[in-house]
Structure 1
Amino acid sequence: MSDRFVLLSGCSGGGKSALLEELARRGHAVVEEPGRRIVQEELAAGGSALPWLDLAAFARRAVAVALADRRRMADRPGPVFFDRGLIDAASALEASGGEPVVAALAAAHRYNRKVFLTPPWPEIYAGDAQRRHGFDAALAEYARLETTYAMLGYETVVLPKVPVSQRADFLLARLAE
């Protein structure tokens, strides 16, 4: 299963969601970012498991959602592309002062050995109702994730800063190597 599960990670606001939409348009199975779904649910319900209110609670929910996403996609044939996933959530939980779970979860739930990172791209970065942190926080997150994936033995592939269709072509070509 792990070879079929492909992670898109990297800098917040770096174009992961647009790339995921392009991959879906091309007929690939995709899983939207757990964090964005959680923020939408929490805002709608007046909840507090939000990264700017209670990062640890938010990250714990993101871990649970990411695990559920993996289970939901287990029988799906072919590659499945995840906008973030379990390792990003576990890394956020540790960074928030929560439980040290990255190594254990990553060992039990592997993804494809190639992880595709969207680099910091200030020209396209934009905050919104669900992304309230600034670009400096996005840069810190990127550095943390880059270190985490290397520590876990993943090969990180930095996506080029090109139009989304070319990014998808690049990703699919590198995945096929």
Structure 2
Amino acid sequence: MPKHSKILILGGPGTGKTSVINGLKNRNYTCFDEVSREIIQQAQQEGIEQLFLTDPLLFSQKLLEGRIKQFEEAEKINEPVFLDRGIPDVTAYMDFKGDTYPEEFLQANKKYTYDQTFIFPIWEEIYQSDNERYENLEQAIEIEKYLEKTYQSLGYNLIEVPKVSVEKRVNFILENIKSNS
């Protein structure tokens, strides 16, 4: 596994990404958590229930800034790093919502690239809404389509993670990471 690998964990809402990130952390891998929950919780403390719905562009700008910061931090780490969601997720969600965004969003998709991408498919049996996840299952399925389209248009090879236990998902990812060769 290359020392500076940036390995992206992506997928629609409620697909088990955070559980797998936590499983990787438990095995002492460096992981960056999803930044949107922090942004959502901060907005809620300021009285804005769903910033993504109230001001999608502001929310997306904050997400983009947070994910770029994570990417730049990952570049400094001399070991593989796992990231929960990536920079192109921002434009995928904006496209899903049907909103416009500045060219800088698209430029960020091209400037900051990940070494490997694992996609978690929608898994109806584990899907749950919560305080920060406003999407219903049908919306989650649509978001997944936008994510796939966005990442594939950028040339990413999406490796689908099977619908198995967290431990088996972690093992699958670790077994399928590119080697140094």
List gaps (5 residues or longer) in structure 2.
Answer: none
User: What corresponds to 1:141 in structure 2?
Assistant: 143
User: What corresponds to 1:26 in structure 2?
Assistant: 27
TM-score, scaled relative to structure 2 = 0.89
After the TM superposition, which residues 57-76 of structure 1 pair with which residues of structure 2 at under 5 Å, given as runs? 57-76=58-77
Runs of 4+ displaced beyond 3 Å: 100-103
Q: d(CA) in 1 for partners of 2:35 and 2:88? A: 11
Question: Are 1:159 and 1:170, in contact at CA under 8 Å, matched by a contact in 2?
Answer: yes
List gaps (5 residues or longer) in structure 1.
Answer: none
Taking a change above 3 Å as real, the CA distance of residues 39 and 52 of structure 1, as seen in their structure-2 partners, is same
SS in 1 for 2:159: strand
TM-score, scaled relative to structure 1 = 0.91
Q: Does 1:111 align with 2:114?
A: yes
SS in 2 for 1:123: coil
User: What corresponds to 2:168 in structure 1?
Assistant: 166
Q: What do residues 44-88 of structure 1 show as CA deviations (whole Å, max 9, x unaligned)?
A: 222477122222221111001101112223211211111102111
* Superposed CA RMSD: 2.0
Taking a change above 3 Å as real, the CA distance of residues 153 and 102 of structure 1, as seen in their structure-2 partners, is farther
Identity, % of aligned positions: 26
Question: Are 2:4 and 2:81, in contact at CA under 8 Å, matched by a contact in 1?
Answer: no
Question: Are 1:7 and 1:81, in contact at CA under 8 Å, matched by a contact in 2?
Answer: yes
Q: d(CA) in 2 for partners of 1:101 and 1:158? A: 29
Q: d(CA) in 2 for partners of 1:160 and 1:120? A: 10
Question: Are 1:91 and 1:102, in contact at CA under 8 Å, matched by a contact in 2?
Answer: no
SS in 2 for 1:128: coil
SS in 1 for 2:102: coil
